């Protein structure tokens, strides 16, 4: 997969495109960037990013990582996984700056994958939010 393919993968999700999410692929390191836009604000008084944007961004990150993994493993028709459940912890205020997210597949079974995502801004060791989720993996015979 090339950095361009990674970007196309993310842009194929209309929701990701409307948030302005970008993909970065350097070697095997894959992470997403959420550029700052005024329309991603949830609390204009602080100001702070909308919790839903940060949660949605991390969910997109998990789904993109799962699909990337399937493509890398040689399934050219890989589909997106479906979210079963997510748990988001909000750790710090999302400042009006660029935000990053990286997913880690903790466990991948035949039907379900457990994925953890970290979102950060200035420093990766100071996350603003963390997601833990279960995703239903598509099967080849799924319509």
Measured from the CB atom, the residue of 3 and 52 that comes closer to other proteins is 52
Determine the Cα–Cα distance for residues 7 and 80; give it in Å rounded to an integer.
Answer: 15
User: Applying CB under 8 A, which of residues 30, 57, 100, 120 lies at the interface with other proteins?
Assistant: 57
Paired tokens of 101:
């997210």
Quick check: 59 binds other proteins (CB under 8 A)?
Answer: yes
Question: Where does this chain touch other proteins (CB under 8 A) — which range of 23-31, 34-42, 106-114, 115-123?
Answer: 34-42
Given a contact cutoff of 8 angstroms between Cβ atoms, the answer to whether 99 and 119 are in contact is yes
Question: Where does this chain touch other proteins (CB under 8 A) — which range of 23-31, 52-60, 103-111, 115-123?
Answer: 52-60
CA distances 85 to 1, 89, 120, 132, 137, Å, are 28, 14, 22, 9, 13
Closest distance to other proteins from the beta carbon of 41 (Å): 4
Determine the Cα–Cα distance for residues 90 and 109; give it in Å rounded to an integer.
Answer: 28
Interface contacts to other proteins, rule CB under 8 A: 12-19, 38-46, 48-53, 55-57, 59-60, 63, 79-80, 82-90, 93
């Amino acid at each position: 997969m090339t950095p361009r393919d990674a970007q196309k993968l993310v842009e194929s999700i209309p929701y990701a495109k409307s948030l302005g999410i970008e993909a970065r692929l350097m070697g095997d390191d894959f992470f997403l960037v959420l550029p700052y836009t005024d329309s991603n604000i949830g609390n204009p008084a602080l100001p702070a990013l909308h919790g839903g944007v940060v949660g949605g961004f991390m969910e997109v990150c998990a789904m993109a990582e799962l699909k990337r993994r399937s493509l890398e493993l040689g399934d050219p028709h890989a589909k997106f996984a479906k979210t079963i459940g997510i748990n988001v912890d909000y750790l710090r205020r999302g400042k009006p700056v660029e935000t990053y997210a990286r997913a880690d597949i903790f466990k991948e079974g035949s039907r379900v994958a457990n994925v953890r995502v970290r979102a950060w801004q200035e420093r990766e060791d100071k996350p603003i939010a963390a997601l833990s989720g279960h995703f239903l993996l598509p099967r080849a015979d799924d319509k």
